[in-house]
Structure 1
Amino acid sequence: MDVTPAAGNAWTDPACPVARTVDLVGDRWSLLIVRDAMDGATTFTEFRRRLGIARNILTDRLRRLVEYGILDRSAATDGRRHTYRLTEAGQDLFTTVVALRQWGERHAFAPDEPRSVLVDERGRELARLRPLSQDGTPLSAGTSHVRKTG
């Protein structure tokens, strides 16, 4: 897995995990591809149909997500196509996607505007994600800070 920004660019902020994550998956199409892979899309055709994305952009994003170790590509049973599956690193983005979804539910829709809803296996909406300290105390931007290492 090559964990470097696209096209050999330098990291936006080499010491910041948020900046590195955005460098790797922060563009609109990459996150939507990851979202759709979490929802069962596995082929180029499925991603293209769901997203309405241009072929060249989809090809580039799938290639990058495979290079970065977020998706795994394998030959389909017909031998003519490839299938894509989330790797462990890709599945680790689930919490990130849920956090973005929940932020969008609260801040990107009018109260009566139709939207999709993420539910668990029993059909219940997910509880709101909240960061907690090691002892279970809720945290916020005002009650946490970044400690530089190294």
Structure 2
Amino acid sequence: MQRTDFSAMACSIARTLDVIGEPWSPLVLRDVWVGLSRFEQIQADLGISRKVLTERLNHLVEHGVVERRPYDRRPRYEYVLTSKGAELVDLLMVMAGWGDRWRADEAGPPTLYRHHACGEISRVDLRCDHCGSPMHATDVDVLPGPGARRSSPGTG
């Protein structure tokens, strides 16, 4: 199936989706983040076909989100997050917060997050990097930036 190329759109959301918009990619990133670094581990956890997982990992490597490192002479590889990938995990944590609030069952959220700095179980909270106040969709105006194209209605 041919993927839509969002990379040329003047929208940061579209450009991000070009990297992780395929449904398996965020789950592959999650697995690498939590320490499943080898192909067989990721495949077993996700129940994904070898072909699809190979395509997803190659795509993530190509975009600099994960790095492939050999771990024996066959060759076999493990996958680790790059700094670019670690920033995408921040996005996944926000998605998990939404899922915990709106999609968790009676048992509650499936995962908890312990903050290294204070040791407490917490959740992600978006804050303005200038004043520290909460920053949510209802707290901002969306304005065209320097990379916006005049003919483009979306300013992602």
Same fold flag (TM > 0.5)? yes
| TM-score, normalisation: structure 2 | 0.80
Residue 127 (structure 1) aligned with residue 123 (structure 2): yes
Instruction: After superposition, give the CA deviation of every residue in 1:61-119 in whole Å (9 maximum; x if it has no partner).
Output: 00000001001112222333111111110111121111011111100013435623233
Q: How does 1:1-150 map to 2 (within 5 A)?
A: 9-11=4-6, 14-113=9-108, 115-121=110-116, 124-132=120-128, 134-150=130-146
> Judging changes above 3 Å, is the alpha-carbon distance between structure 1 residues 138 and 124 closer, same or farther for their aligned structure 2 residues?
closer
Partner Cα distance (1:18, 1:131) in 2: 19
Tell me, which stretches of 5 or more residues in structure 1 are unaligned? 1-6
Report if aligned partners of 2:67, 2:81 keep a CA contact under 8 Å in 1: yes
Q: Which amino acid aligns with 2:38?
A: T
Partner Cα distance (1:31, 1:137) in 2: 28
Partner Cα distance (1:28, 1:10) in 2: 15
Report if aligned partners of 1:133, 1:139 keep a CA contact under 8 Å in 2: no
Partner Cα distance (1:15, 1:45) in 2: 37
Instruction: After superposition, give the CA deviation of every residue in 1:42-65 in whole Å (9 maximum; x if it has no partner).
Output: 111011011111111001000000
RMSD: 2.3
Please report how far the alpha carbon of residue 13 of structure 1 lies from its aligned counterpart in structure 2 after TM superposition.
Answer: 6.7
Greater RCO structure (CA 8 Å; 6+ sep):
2
Q: Which amino acid aligns with 1:46?
A: Q
Q: Percent identity?
A: 29
Tell me, which stretches of 5 or more residues in structure 2 are unaligned? 147-156
SS at match of 1:83: strand
Q: Which amino acid aligns with 2:138?
A: G
SS at match of 1:90: helix
Q: How many residues align?
A: 144
| TM-score, normalisation: structure 1 | 0.83
Q: Which amino acid aligns with 1:71?
A: V
> Judging changes above 3 Å, is the alpha-carbon distance between structure 1 residues 131 and 148 closer, same or farther for their aligned structure 2 residues?
same
